[in-house]
């Protein structure tokens, strides 16, 4: 069935589709492995292996999909986490893919290029402001998903009808963001490695410019942004460590007491847990370990943060 969106025939707004709420189990299931499977565009999903199918990392397997079967490559087999199990409880591994299954997957990938061209022609014919990113055909041919980006919400009901009339199967158009687009296309980052989103990341997490400020990085969005135009995901990796280190240090501009006299903090060295202090009577700033400094935490730290070092 075509996916409904936008206003209905009476001009009223159709109710949004609600996804079922996922609740994590209280404990990891015993004797059952969790299998993570990767599909086209580096899309990943989680499946239980209650049938105890002998799957290994690198193999292709058949899994339960949306009203049918799908096939992908196994990238993890193990106990998993409670969060992953919340998505795996209702979908599982069915069998290891055989030669015929692999051949059919190869045919599907070839057909997707043809579907892509057809969909682009229909988008241009209807003058829709959307950019088609990728097409994914479900292994059992029961659904075709078209991924696209758009600046605003697009009413694509007529486009869905056009595509359903051509392919005679279930059609789904899914709007994605620029980060998802980068994951689909893949590439090499400035670090020389594969995009994190295309490689090992399972889901996106919010990344803010405040993280760069905490890590004392230059606040230049051009240098901090990835190919997708958003702040790089790797800014989040060491955020907790930097936050913990900053709790043991005064802020820049704080008045502190040093072994050589009072002074003002000019710079922080988070990794060495040291401060560069402009001491009264000294020609140049001096460096001190945080343990040799004393300061009033109520004046030197942001409101709401617990004082670690304070004058009595």
Taking only the tens of pLDDT, the chain with its 312 residues reads 444 444 444 444 444 455 556 677 878 888 899 999 999 988 899 999 999 999 999 999 999 987 789 999 999 999 988 888 988 888 899 999 999 999 999 999 999 999 999 999 999 999 999 999 999 999 999 999 999 999 999 999 999 999 999 999 999 999 999 999 999 888 898 888 999 988 888 888 899 888 988 888 888 888 899 888 899 999 999 888 888 888 778 888 888 888 888 888 888 888 888 888 888 878 788 888 888 888 876 555 544 444 444 443
Q: Which pTM does this prediction carry?
A: 0.74
Domain segments of the chain as ranges: 103-179, 247-300
User: How confident is the model at residue 1, as a pLDDT?
Assistant: 46
Beta bridge partners of 132: 148
| Rounded Cα gap, residues 251 and 285, in angstroms | 16
* Residue 306 contacts residue 288 (beta carbons within 8 Å): no
User: How confident is the model at residue 271, as a pLDDT?
Assistant: 81
| Rounded Cα gap, residues 300 and 251, in angstroms | 6
* Residue pLDDT, tens place only, 19-38: 556 677 878 888 899 999 99
DSSP-assigned states of every residue in the chain:
-PPP-SB-TTSPBPPPPPPPPP---SSPPTT--EEEEE-GGG-EEEEE-TT-----TT-EEEEEETTEEEEEEEEEEE---HHHHHHHTT-BEEEE--HHHHHHHHHHHHHHHHHHHHHHHHHHHTT---EEEEEEE-TTSSEEEEEEE-SS----HHHHHHHHHHH-SEEEEEE--HHHHHHHH--B-TTSSB-TTTTT--S-----HHHHHHTT----HHHHB-TTSSBPGGGGTTHHHHHHHHTTSPPTT-EEEETTEEEEEEEEETTTTEEEEEETT-SS-EEEEGGG-EE-HHHHS-TTPPPSS---
User: How confident is the model at residue 303, as a pLDDT?
Assistant: 40
User: How confident is the model at residue 247, as a pLDDT?
Assistant: 79
From 96, 100, 109, 89, select the one nearest 39 (Cα to Cα).
109
Question: pLDDT > 90: what percent of the chain?
Answer: 43
Pick the CATH number of 103-179 from 3.30.1760, 3.40.1620, 3.30.300, 3.30.450: 3.30.300
Fold of the 247-300 domain: SH3 type barrels. (2.30.30)
Distant-in-sequence, close-in-space partners of 21: CB < 8 Å, separation ≥ 6 = none
| Rounded Cα gap, residues 266 and 264, in angstroms | 6
User: How confident is the model at residue 16, as a pLDDT?
Assistant: 47
């Amino acid at each position: 069935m075509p996916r409904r969106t936008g206003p209905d025939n009476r001009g009223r707004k159709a109710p949004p589709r609600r996804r079922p709420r996922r609740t994590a189990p209280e404990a990891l299931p015993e004797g059952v492995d969790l299998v993570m499977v990767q599909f086209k565009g580096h899309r990943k999903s989680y499946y239980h292996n209650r049938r105890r199918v002998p799957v290994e990392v690198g193999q292709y397997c058949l899994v339960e999909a949306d009203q049918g079967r799908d096939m992908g490559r196994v990238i993890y087999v193990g106990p998993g986490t409670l969060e992953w199990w919340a998505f795996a409880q209702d979908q599982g591994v069915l069998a290891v893919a055989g030669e015929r299954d692999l051949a059919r997957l190869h045919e599907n990938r070839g057909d997707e290029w043809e579907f892509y061209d057809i969909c682009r022609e229909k988008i241009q014919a209807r003058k829709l402001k959307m950019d088609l990113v990728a097409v994914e055909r479900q292994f059992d041919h029961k659904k075709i998903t078209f991924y696209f980006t758009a600046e605003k919400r697009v009413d694509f009901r007529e486009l869905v009808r056009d595509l359903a009339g051509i392919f005679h199967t279930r059609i789904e158009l899914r709007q994605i963001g620029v980060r998802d687009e980068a994951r689909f296309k893949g590439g090499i980052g400035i670090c020389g490695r594969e995009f994190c989103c295309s490689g090992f990341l399972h889901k996106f997490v919010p990344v803010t410019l405040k993280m760069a400020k905490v890590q004392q990085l230059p606040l230049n969005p051009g240098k901090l942004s990835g190919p997708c135009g958003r702040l790089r995901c790797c800014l989040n990796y060491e955020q907790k460590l930097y936050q913990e280190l900053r709790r043991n240090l005064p802020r820049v501009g704080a008045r502190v007491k040093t072994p050589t006299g009072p002074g003002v903090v000019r710079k922080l060295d988070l990794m060495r847990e040291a401060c560069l202090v402009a001491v009264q009577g000294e020609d140049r700033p001096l460096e001190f370990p945080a343990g040799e400094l004393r300061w009033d935490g109520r004046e030197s730290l942001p409101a709401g943060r617990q004082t670690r070092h304070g004058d009595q």
